[in-house]
Each structure stands twice: as C-alpha cells, then as structure tokens.
Amino acid sequence: MEERFMREAIAEARMAAEAGEIPIGAVIVKDGKIVGRGRNCAEEAKDPTCHAEMLAIKDACRNLGAWRLTGCDMYVTLEPCSMCAGAIVLARIDRLYIGTEDPKGGACVSLYNITADERLNHRVDQTVGILKDECSDMLKSFFRDLRKRPKKNPEDISK
C-alpha cells in the first residue's frame, strides 16, 4: 500500500520535472483513496509557496471541504521543508511517508523535526525511506542535468 501511493507521488514529481521544475510530488490519501495531489511549480507560478506538499494540502482541503485533514496520510518524494512541515502540522495530517531525506532543507528528520515537536498542538507519525532510491535518483539526475545547462544571463531572469 505504501509503495503504491509513493509511486503516485513519484508520477507527480516526474510531471514537475517535465515542466522544468524540481521533481517533487505529493499525494494525500484518506480511506485508501487519493484526495489531494501536488507537484512543485514555483518556477511556473513565480511563487515560492508552490511546493508539492502545499498544493496537495490545498487540493485535499478543496476536495474534502475542510481544512482539517485528520484521517489523512501524505506521501511525498522528498522530506518537506519548514514551510511545508508547518502546513502539514496545521492541517492535522495523521501520517507522513517520505521518500528520501533532504539534508540541506529537511524539516521533519534532517535539520529539524517540526512534525514531531512536542511543543506544537499536533504531531505527525512518519516513515522515511519509501522507494528511497527511486526518489533520490530522480532528484540527483535532475540537478546533474541542470548543472550541465548553460547559465542564464541575470538580465533574463526577470523576464
């Protein structure tokens, strides 16, 4: 079951990569059904909050008609950042399944542990390493290819 839903998150991540975005995908599941989907689209949207987790939460809230996502699980290909970890706690998601850790920005295992902080009003159970190699390899490949591309002219960035 865990791998099945992580594969759905990986599919979202692949769509993000095809659009030139960092390949991170997320799905939210309730009662064995996907109720929310998201993939990174910060570049396209020109919005730093357009992370896969944030969009999956918004989608699930819209589909369920509630902002509390109790009874829901999230599957995400990369360990969430502090913004997303905070949103996961605020949304009251029950369980978080993480594909691979993020040693530079992870806020659930690596740098911080926001989702398990006892000072907060909600804690999220988490499992790390679901299809870890596949999730990690996708990100490594994306960044390796990105480094090979010619650098953009700073004047072109604002266009």
User: Catalytic annotation on 2?
Assistant: no
Q: How far, in Å, CA of 109 to CA of 113, rounded?
A: 5
Please give the full DSSP string across 117-154, using - where no structure is assigned.
-TTSS---EEEE-TTHHHHHHHHHHHHHHHHHSPPPPH
Please, which residues have CB within 8 angstroms of residue 66's CB and are 6 or more apart in sequence? none
Q: Indicate which residue of 12, 21, 53, 79 is catalytic.
A: 53
Q: Does the CA dihedral 14-133-22-65 come out positive or negative?
A: positive
Catalytic machinery residues: 53
